């Protein structure tokens, strides 16, 4: 799950970046509205955390441009502006949630989970596939009722594959969901994570389509 964080306050941005990475997200951070607009127009993100008061281009304009391009990713506004009028304008411009700073990172993470759950068409907090059960909030996995210990990256990878069960995920798609701009994956990192997942969950759980990518079969 890859997020774009748009925040011009360096200290706050640092804290959010650290908290969100700890929560298991790949996070890219830009500090002004123009950089946000460029990133959103050229790369794929699963969710946007957007400040409103930004240099070069206002957060509301970033949001309007994003929606006018037809991009449907969930947008969470995170701002110091607490006036009712700002909240209404933000939501009516296409934001999906609106939080006023300061915010506890746990609440932010829970809101992000709720938004991405909706975006993937789920109403249940748990993800199920056969005898596999994934709890994104607790970052816990069970197989046939037995807990499976996964690293943060393995967990994120499994969640992405299961959310897209039945669909082939390319290497590039999986890598972009796992790594932000500041993370340097070594060339075989994805294969290593897949290998570990297979060891823990069984070989048949994840199929390789040579030269294309990976697939978790449905049901």
Q: Which residues bind Ca ion (CB under 5 A)?
A: 8, 51, 53
Q: Closest CB to Ca ion among 24 and 53?
A: 53
Counting Cβ atoms within 10 Å, is residue 86 exposed (0-12), middle (13-18) or buried (19+)? Answer: middle
Least CB distance from residue 31 to Ca ion, whole Å?
9
Q: Closest CB to Ca ion among 81 and 139?
A: 81
State the residue number with the nearest CB to Ca ion.
53
Least CB distance from residue 52 to Ca ion, whole Å?
7
Least CB distance from residue 16 to Ca ion, whole Å?
12
Counting Cβ atoms within 10 Å, is residue 184 exposed (0-12), middle (13-18) or buried (19+)? Answer: exposed
H or E stretch including 178? helix 171-178
Q: How far apart are CA 59 and CA 36, in angstroms?
A: 9
Least CB distance from residue 33 to Ca ion, whole Å?
10
Q: How far apart are CA 64 and CA 193, in angstroms?
A: 38
Q: Closest CB to Ca ion among 63 and 158?
A: 63
Least CB distance from residue 101 to Ca ion, whole Å?
9
Q: Closest CB to Ca ion among 9 and 175?
A: 9
Q: Closest CB to Ca ion among 33 and 213?
A: 33
Q: How far apart are CA 78 and CA 15, in angstroms?
A: 14
Closest CA to 29 of 42, 129, 15, 41: 15
């Amino acid at each position: 799950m890859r997020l774009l964080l748009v925040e011009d306050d360096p200290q706050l941005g640092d804290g959010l970046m650290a908290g969100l990475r700890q929560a298991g997200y790949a996070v890219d951070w830009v500090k002004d509205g123009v950089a946000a607009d460029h990133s959103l127009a050229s790369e794929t993100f699963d969710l946007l955390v957007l400040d409103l008061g930004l240099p070069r281009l206002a957060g509301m304009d970033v949001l309007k441009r994003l929606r006018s391009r037809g991009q449907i990713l969930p947008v969470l506004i995170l701002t110091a502006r607490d006036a009712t009028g700002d909240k209404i304008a933000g939501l009516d411009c296409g934001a999906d949630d609106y939080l006023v700073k300061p915010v506890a990172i746990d609440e932010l993470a829970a809101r992000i989970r709720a938004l991405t759950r909706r975006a993937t068409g789920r109403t249940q907090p748990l993800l199920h596939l056969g005898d596999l059960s994934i709890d994104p909030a607790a970052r816990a996995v069970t197989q046939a009722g037995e807990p499976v210990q996964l690293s943060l990256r393995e967990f994120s990878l499994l969640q992405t594959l299961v959310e897209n069960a039945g669909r082939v995920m390319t290497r590039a798609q999986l890598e972009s969901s796992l790594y932000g701009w500041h993370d340097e994956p070594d060339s075989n990192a994805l294969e290593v994570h897949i290998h570990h997942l297979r060891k823990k969950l069984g070989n048949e759980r994840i199929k390789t389509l040579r030269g294309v990518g990976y697939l978790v079969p449905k049901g």
